[in-house]
Amino acid sequence: MPTNTLLVAQLDAEQVVSQSSSGATGTGAFLLDPVQHMLAYSLTYQGLEAGGANSIALYNFGKGKNGEAVGMLCGTGTQPCPNGTSASISGRFENADGSALDNTLIGAERVYVEIVGGNGKPEIRGQLAHLAPAAHGSGTAIVSETYLPNGKISVFYAATVASTSGAPTNAALVGGRAPRARVFRARAALPRLNLRTSRDKEMGGSLSGLYEVSSAAPNAFFAARLLSKNIFRTRRSHPETGSAQYT
């Protein structure tokens, strides 16, 4: 099935066909769902020199020429553009002017975004360029701990992930309720990782590892330390073996 496509646009005056001298700049991220024919966007611009934006729209053509509008982000016929010369806008739409939003139109890099300034003239423009597939990965992981004498803990972990944008390269136990606290950090990578990938080595794979840690170590990687932060949904204890398993 087609995957979502992530595109980025860098806006400046040099790309405007009608010769703009503006020093304004902008960056837009566009996520295309070719199955639902939906385009989500987030665009930030700064320093418009002709006042607040009159309109911001997508147009169908490559570099060097002007094309027909295929979707209005803000302006006439849709939500008003922000008043300031620097702003961020975001939203989504399913189609524009009867044209289906799909890889033929959007993903072919024939679409650009252009901001028309307060004087009614195009001020900055940027071509939508394919960045990378935006895969929605999923997976299952297990962490098993065996408590040994002298405060040692033997940790076994295994996981399989599917539909990622590439083969996995590392893994970590991460804690915290806030999204920022749950991002991967290289220094928290699990040790002794063994990785197995599919033949194409493009999407997903399996990984596992076995190592020992001291429970007294301040940065020891084991699940019990993270349990209080609600990272793992279930816990199955095995009193007869002194182990605990988290999934």
pLDDT value of residue 75: 94
Mean pLDDT, the chain, whole residue set: 76
218 and 184 in a common domain = yes
107 and 29 in a common domain = yes
Choice among 141-150, 168-177, 180-189, 214-223 with the minimum mean pLDDT: 180-189
Domain boundary, last residue among 118, 133, 148: 133
pLDDT value of residue 141: 78
What's the domain range around 65?
Answer: 5-133
Contacts with 178 (C-beta within 8 Å, 6 or more apart), sequence order: none
Q: Which residue in the block uniquely carries the two structure tokens 């209080």?
A: 228
pTM of the entire predicted model: 0.56
Whether residue 54 contacts residue 41, with contact meaning beta carbons closer than 8 Å, is answered with no
pLDDT value of residue 208: 85
What tens digit of pLDDT does each residue of 1-39 get?
A: 456 778 889 999 999 998 899 999 999 988 888 777 788
What tens digit of pLDDT does each residue of 37-92 get?
A: 788 999 999 999 999 999 999 999 888 999 998 889 999 888 999 999 999 999 98
In this structure, the strands spanning 243-246 and 235-238 are: antiparallel
110 and 32 in a common domain = yes
Residue 145 DSSP code: E
